[in-house]
Structure 1
């Protein structure tokens, strides 16, 4: 059975798109599917990354070699822009071989493109503890 590639036709579906591409394990595919061209991410608390640095900011998450799960907790929409609050968790095996979990609550700003697909403009995975 062939699994259809998810498309973010609503703001909430952007979370599904992120999860899908993260779990495939390819950071470039995730960037192309999830982010707008000039998107920014909080690479670490208080520091943003964009362009080539966007990939560098995401690589520590991919280095866990885990599987992510998550869900959108809240959506606030204003026209073609939305603010999302989402909970996420990466389950992985730590360097000693034990199961571990890295989790957080993110605030993301997404925008609807002219093609009708919503993509991330601002990704702040470190915002809420």
Structure 2
């Protein structure tokens, strides 16, 4: 069961529409679905060109080539991703997505992998209205 919590910040133009939060959650879920399908091109299309992913604490990848290399390794495990909850905050053309997740897959040696965590994702709305990921921290920790 997935829970969704949406907080809309008030802007000078008024409260942010619930549709914005749904569009952001949709971007996150579409990116996860592309990961599950092993579709690297679609995963990368969800990020801005200079996007950053912290694949592990202290291991940052910046830009399309670095993200492609990091995700190629991740996609090799044939991940199955489940979100336990989503929380979305929107302020103008910036958004913050917070989510608890679980992933299952297979290591190169055939060993089953199961992991989980809490992700923090910053998104930006493009001029065409699409939301794209700027910063992605799938294993967010305080340290």
Scaled by the length of structure 2, what TM-score is found? 0.72
Gaps of 5+ in 2: 1-20
Structure 1 pair 98/57, CA: closer, same or farther in 2 (3 Å)?
closer
Residue of structure 2 in register with 1:4 after alignment: none
Matched, 1:21 2:53: no
Asked which structure has the greater CA Rg, the reply is 2
Separation (CA, whole Å) in 1 of partners of 2:117 and 2:85: 12
Separation (CA, whole Å) in 2 of partners of 1:78 and 1:53: 29
Structure 1 pair 72/18, CA: closer, same or farther in 2 (3 Å)?
farther
The structural deviation recorded for 1:60 is: 2.9
1:12 touches 1:72 (CA, 8 Å); kept in 2?
no
Residue of structure 2 in register with 1:49 after alignment: 61
1:72 touches 1:84 (CA, 8 Å); kept in 2?
no
Separation (CA, whole Å) in 1 of partners of 2:129 and 2:73: 31
Q: How many residue pairs are counted as aligned between the two chains?
A: 121
Q: Which runs of 4+ in 1 moved over 6 A?
A: none
Separation (CA, whole Å) in 2 of partners of 1:100 and 1:73: 23
2:50 touches 2:62 (CA, 8 Å); kept in 1?
yes
Gaps of 5+ in 1: 1-7
